Amino acid sequence: MKLRKGSHDATGLRFGIVVARFNKFVTSKLLSSCVDGLIAQGVKADDIEAVRVPGAFEIPLVARTMARTKRFDAVICLGAVIQGDTPHFDYISAEASRGIGQAALDADVPIIFGVLTTHTVAQAIERSDPAKFNRGGEAAKSAIEMATVMRVLRVGEETQMSVKRETLIVKRERSDKKQAPRKRKA
């Protein structure tokens, strides 16, 4: 059995971040911890690009657009949807998660779900507190691991394709030699 995995060394990798402006008191802390987490693992500040969008509903389109540029090894989505008295929370949470997942599949680039969906403001604040378990930093770790595992898998694919091409060339050369007319002695 072969076990392939990513690493936490992000040296040389580029990351896009899409962050919702709505609930900025939470999302700004997620963004800060995310960037700090990327830099701590070797990403240069110039290799991080962030885009602000109005809210969580708008995240998937921008994430997919960023990923499709192929400038980024992974895109990280950050937002905060906090439950209120109406079903609005359910619709936005569901569409944001569905859209982010679909964007990753469409773009063939890791897109990380770092959108908080909490019942209360206190829960959102707790999950964005840099002194505690900040989900922005966790999203950065996931992005690095996914970017590196995809690199491992893609290099493996390229190597396999290269070996297959070389094998075909050798087979063709052998086949050509077998079919070449032989010279007869007079």
Tell me the one-letter amino acid at 137.
G
- Quick check: is 88 catalytic? yes
Q: For the chain, list the strands marked E by DSSP.
A: 15-20, 48-53, 74-82, 111-118
Q: For 8-105, list the strands marked E by DSSP.
A: 15-20, 48-53, 74-82
Q: Which of 88, 164, 172, 174 is catalytic?
A: 88
Please tell me what DSSP assigns to residue 43: -
> For 86, left (φ over 0), alpha (ψ -120 to 50), or beta?
beta
Contact 30/128 with Cβ under 8 angstroms?
yes
User: Tokens 């063709």 sit at which residue?
Assistant: 172
**Cβ atoms within 10 Å of 130's Cβ, excluding its own:** 13
The residues annotated with a catalytic role in the active site are 88
